Amino acid sequence: MYIDAHRLYEDDGTPVPFIESPHQSDRFEPRYLVIHYTATLTIRDCVAWFLDAAAKASAHVIVGRNGRIAQMVAFNRRAWHAGRSRWHGVEDLNAHALGIELVNAGALERTPAGAWTDGAGHAVADGQVRIARHKHESVDRGWHEFPPLQIDRALAVARTLHAQYGVEEVLGHDDIAPGRKLDPGPAFPMAPFAFDLLGGTRSVSVAVGDPTGREEHD
């Protein structure tokens, strides 16, 4: 992949679909890359949400479970993906972080019959569920798996962003908004992803919670 005029292209020159979200602003100086999950099952639902006036949310790129990609904010503009956030003394990460969303239902629920569902009650197949413990929680629960193809595509986007803009650290939303956010959660392979992108000198910190609030809008 490559970037021209702050838009993403496939290696063969095909532009990645750019579906511009109105939820963006200027004064953007990227230093970080923040990884999210969409809490949806499809890229379509996430795109629709980032176009919805009620959302007041967006991200630069969404990566689907089948590797499909959409860009929603130009890379020289501030997307609204971090909300209230902090990292090593830096506040308001939207001003400093590119944001990638991966289509993933996130933390799952279980019906009395034992079937897995997302938060809206849509079924999630057993084979797509990982039982794991979030680093900020004390109990195991079910999490939606990320397909390898999706991770590969997200890594390709991340490498392209890093080559163009320079990324100092890869962070989870749960690193910069602990107590408020759980994404991308324990099913996302953060350590190998960051190692692949930045090498061994850039380890991802395990954030110690500074839960300054809850339930703020994204």
By CB under 5 A, which span of 61-69, 106-114, 121-129, 178-186 interacts with Zn ion? 178-186
With respect to Zn ion, which residue has the nearer C-beta, 136 or 173?
Answer: 173
DSSP string covering 25-71, please? ES-----EEEEEE-SSSSHHHHHHHHH-TTT----SEEE-TTS-EEE
Cβ contacts of residue 25 below 8 Å, gap of 6+?
A: 77, 78, 80
Per-residue burial over 179-199, b = 16 or more CB atoms within 10 Å of its CB, e = otherwise = ebbbbbbbbbebeebbbebbe
Q: How far is the CB of 105 from Zn ion (least distance, A)?
A: 13
The verdict on 136 binding Zn ion (CB under 5 A) reads no
By CB under 5 A, which span of 30-38, 109-117, 154-162, 163-171 interacts with Zn ion? 30-38
Q: How far is the CB of 5 from Zn ion (least distance, A)?
A: 27
Q: Which of 183, 194, 197, 207 binds Zn ion (CB under 5 A)?
A: 183
Q: What are 119's two structure tokens?
A: 């938060």
Q: How far is the CB of 181 from Zn ion (least distance, A)?
A: 5
Q: Which of 23, 60, 65, 173 binds Zn ion (CB under 5 A)?
A: 173
By CB under 5 A, which span of 69-77, 128-136, 181-189, 195-203 interacts with Zn ion? 181-189
Q: How far is the CB of 34 from Zn ion (least distance, A)?
A: 7
Q: Which of 209, 212, 218 is nearest to 83 (CA)?
A: 218
With respect to Zn ion, which residue has the nearer C-beta, 101 or 145?
Answer: 101
Q: How far is the CB of 113 from Zn ion (least distance, A)?
A: 30
How far apart are the C-alpha atoms of 101 and 3, rounded to whole Å? 18
Whole-Å CA distances, 52 to 68, 76, 109? 21, 22, 26
Q: How distant is the alpha carbon of residue 193 from its chain centre?
A: 13
CB 11 within 8 A of CB 75: no
The verdict on 23 binding Zn ion (CB under 5 A) reads no
The verdict on 36 binding Zn ion (CB under 5 A) reads yes
Q: What are 20's two structure tokens?
A: 């511009």
Residues touching Zn ion: how many (CB under 5 A)? 3
- Note the residues at the interface with Zn ion (CB under 5 A): 36, 173, 183
